């Protein structure tokens, strides 16, 4: 396929990618899901030529293609662009100080995401405890920030806003830590504030673009240390493929440190 002439901005994305779910959540909050078109890219195959031409060779998704030829990369930048290009209803904070606090919390997302990502991809059982500790440290930082800025509230401010759109997809991906690592936040006062935030984020009406089952099944290869559509040893088909559809596949084994499941056991062979 070649790129048709665009009438509206086009987001090229990988379904189930947390970075593109942020954009979907923001548009849903605004009631503007139709303002932007989405084009699905298969992460297990090489990117189409028309896309590489527009991105000048970079492969990370999401990218936003503008009708005038412009290209916007990086989910947080695209998020900001959408907030400003479609200003009503406002989702990000307007007050300069509140905006700064919002951005400070959002600045935690990189280390937070990377920490969970390294944890799920770890292959060394002896390193597990250290990963748990680092993950709790990251949750602890979020707890401290929320406690400082809104001790009695649920969200960072009075409602689900930009920071929540940024973090919720990551909280959802971290269901894989619960499934493959048996990791969850301890039920202690130390994490009560971030737990309350996370629960409200996960229950919000506009975050239903992906399900827990889809995440667990598609991210199996991450749990084996193979990210971004790479193939674990001995396998022919990535757990991130579109067909067979995830809903038709069995749940993967929880034990990521034991024997890895085969393509057949994972329901990845068509027919």
Strands of the 37-40 sheet, one edge to the other = 37-40, 10-13, 63-65, 71-73
Nearer to ligand GAZ, 75 or 238 (CB): 75
* Catalytic position from the list 12, 17, 115, 201: 17
How many Cα atoms sit within 13 Å of 239 on the Cβ side?
Answer: 29
Interface residues with ligand GAZ (CB under 6 A) are: 14, 17-19, 43, 59-62, 74-76, 113, 116-117, 120, 170, 173, 219, 222, 228
Q: How far is the CB of 75 from ligand GAZ (least distance, A)?
A: 3
In degrees, to the nearest 5, what angle opens at C-alpha 45 toward C-alphas 40 and 49? Answer: 75
Nearer to ligand GAZ, 150 or 228 (CB): 228
For this structure, is 115 an active site residue? no
Q: How far is the CB of 170 from ligand GAZ (least distance, A)?
A: 6
Nearer to ligand GAZ, 113 or 238 (CB): 113
How many Cα atoms sit within 13 Å of 170 on the Cβ side?
Answer: 22
Q: How far is the CB of 45 from ligand GAZ (least distance, A)?
A: 11
Spell out where the chain has E strands.
10-13, 37-40, 63-65, 71-73
Preceding peptide of 253 cis, ω within 30° = no
Catalytic residue positions, numbered: 17
């Amino acid at each position: 396929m070649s790129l048709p002439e665009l009438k509206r901005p086009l987001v090229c994305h990988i379904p189930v990618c947390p970075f593109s779910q942020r954009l979907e959540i923001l548009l849903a909050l605004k009631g503007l899901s139709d303002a932007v078109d989405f084009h699905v890219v298969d992460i297990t195959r090489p990117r189409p030529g028309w896309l590489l031409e527009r991105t000048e060779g970079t492969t990370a998704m999401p990218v936003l293609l503008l009708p005038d030829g412009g290209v916007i990369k990086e989910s947080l930048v695209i998020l900001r662009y959408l907030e400003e290009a479609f200003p009503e209803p406002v989702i990000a904070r307007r007050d300069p100080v509140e905006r700064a606090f919002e951005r400070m919390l959002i600045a935690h997302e990189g280390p937070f995401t990377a920490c969970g990502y390294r944890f799920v991809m770890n292959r060394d059982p002896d390193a597990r405890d250290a990963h748990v500790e680092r993950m709790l440290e990251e949750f602890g930082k979020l707890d401290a920030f929320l406690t400082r800025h809104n001790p009695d509230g649920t969200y960072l401010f009075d409602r689900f806003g930009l920071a929540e759109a940024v973090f919720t997809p990551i909280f959802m991906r971290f269901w894989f830590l619960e499934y493959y690592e048996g990791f969850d936040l301890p039920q202690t006062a130390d994490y009560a504030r971030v737990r309350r935030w996370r629960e409200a984020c996960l229950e919000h009406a506009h975050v239903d673009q992906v399900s827990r089952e889809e995440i667990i099944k598609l991210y199996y290869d991450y749990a084996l240390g193979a990210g971004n559509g790479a193939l674990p040893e001995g396998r022919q088909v990535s757990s991130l493929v579109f067909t067979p559809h995830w809903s038709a596949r069995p749940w993967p084994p929880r034990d990521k440190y034991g024997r890895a499941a085969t393509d057949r056991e994972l329901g990845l062979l068509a027919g």
